[in-house]
Amino acid sequence: MILIADGGSTKADWIALDNNKNEVFRVRTLGLNPAVVQEDELKNRIVNMFQLINIKDEVSEIHFYGAGCGTPKPVQILHKVMKEIFINAEINIAEDMLAAVYAASGKEPAIVCILGTGSNSCYFNGKELEMIAASLGYSIMDEASGNYFGKKLIRDYYYNQMPKQIAKKFSNEFNLDADHIKYNLYKQPNPNMYLATFAKFMFDFKEEKYIKKTIKKGFEEFFKYRVLPYKKDKSTPIYFIGSIAYYFGDILEKVSKKYDLEVTGVIQRPIDKLLDYHKANI
């Protein structure tokens, strides 16, 4: 049995294949970002999914691509957790950026961007990933991500920068008590995931001028720091992965044209195309 997984901070999609590469089942667990989730919780999130535990001794290969897996220490933690569960498996762990590349461009050169709970980008030269900088996560980077927009919405609400009719809907949707927010940000695990929950508000009010303006500014920051520094000509394909890019594709297209660039494609969930890549290459 072979497991292929694409894991973000919020959720991880798993597909199980038999030895003939036929799909057996799909499941979704909570996110398995080893940079922000404690080791015991990582294990709990896997063992609590009975479909995975039922086949744990049959799994011979795991190909896991995840947020937080771009540096050695978090990878070591997640590898240890998985090896304790899937004792017969060869475990391969790589950063989610590589999954995005495989899903978007396969083996062809391209700029590939992720706009999920967090955000990132790379230039894939056909063999290796070229990164502008290591990702330092939600508190410093992650432009145009779910947690970036969640933070922006909360700040605008508290500074009275949000239009009144939007602020009323926002306060009806969420618990905006200051103590509640601070407790979740500073006392609870995974504050990046908590912040990203607020960003979902934008999907329901995407036609509002305030939301469009907020999205546009976030996308402009992302292009400034995560796309333009690659200094590629406009013929270089540019792909985006994630729901924020997918649901606000019209604004993404306008921002790209501002920089004389064109978005080649947007993929909401990469797992299907990642599966196609693996079927052809493993």
For the segment 39-97, what is each residue's pLDDT rounded down to a tens digit?
999 999 999 999 999 999 999 999 999 988 888 999 999 999 999 999 999 999 998 88
End-to-end CA distance of the chain: 13
For the segment 9-35, what is each residue's pLDDT rounded down to a tens digit?
888 999 999 988 899 999 999 999 998
DSSP letter assigned to residue 231: -
How sure is the predictor about 107, in pLDDT bands with cuts at 50, 70 and 90?
confident
Does residue 5 have a pLDDT over 90? yes
**What pLDDT, on the 0 to 100 scale, is given for residue 228?**
95
**What pLDDT, on the 0 to 100 scale, is given for residue 8?**
81
**What pLDDT, on the 0 to 100 scale, is given for residue 110?**
96
**What pLDDT, on the 0 to 100 scale, is given for residue 20?**
87
Nearest Cα to 196, choosing from 29, 31, 28, 14?
31
Domain boundary assignment for the chain: 2-99+271-281
For the segment 206-238, what is each residue's pLDDT rounded down to a tens digit?
999 999 999 999 999 999 999 999 998 889 999
**What pLDDT, on the 0 to 100 scale, is given for residue 67?**
86
Residues whose CB is less than 8 angstroms from the CB of residue 211 and which lie 6 or more positions away in sequence, other chains included: 166, 202, 205
Residues listed for the chain: 282
Q: How far apart are CA 260 and CA 186, in angstroms?
A: 41
Alpha-carbon dihedral sign for residues 41, 140, 10, 21: negative
DSSP letter assigned to residue 58: T
For the segment 130-187, what is each residue's pLDDT rounded down to a tens digit?
998 877 878 889 999 999 999 999 999 999 999 999 999 999 999 999 999 999 999 9
Q: How far apart are CA 78 and CA 29, in angstroms?
A: 15
**What pLDDT, on the 0 to 100 scale, is given for residue 271?**
87
- The 110-115 sheet, strands edge to edge: 129-130, 119-124, 110-115, 238-241, 265-267
| CATH assignment, 2-99+271-281 | 3.30.420.40
**What pLDDT, on the 0 to 100 scale, is given for residue 7?**
86
Mean pLDDT highest for which of 108-117, 151-160, 230-239, 272-281? 151-160
> Is residue 145 a contact partner of residue 117, using CB atoms and an 8 Å limit?
yes
**Structure-model confidence comparison of residues 73 and 189, the more confident one:** 73
CB atoms within 10 A of CB 60: 12
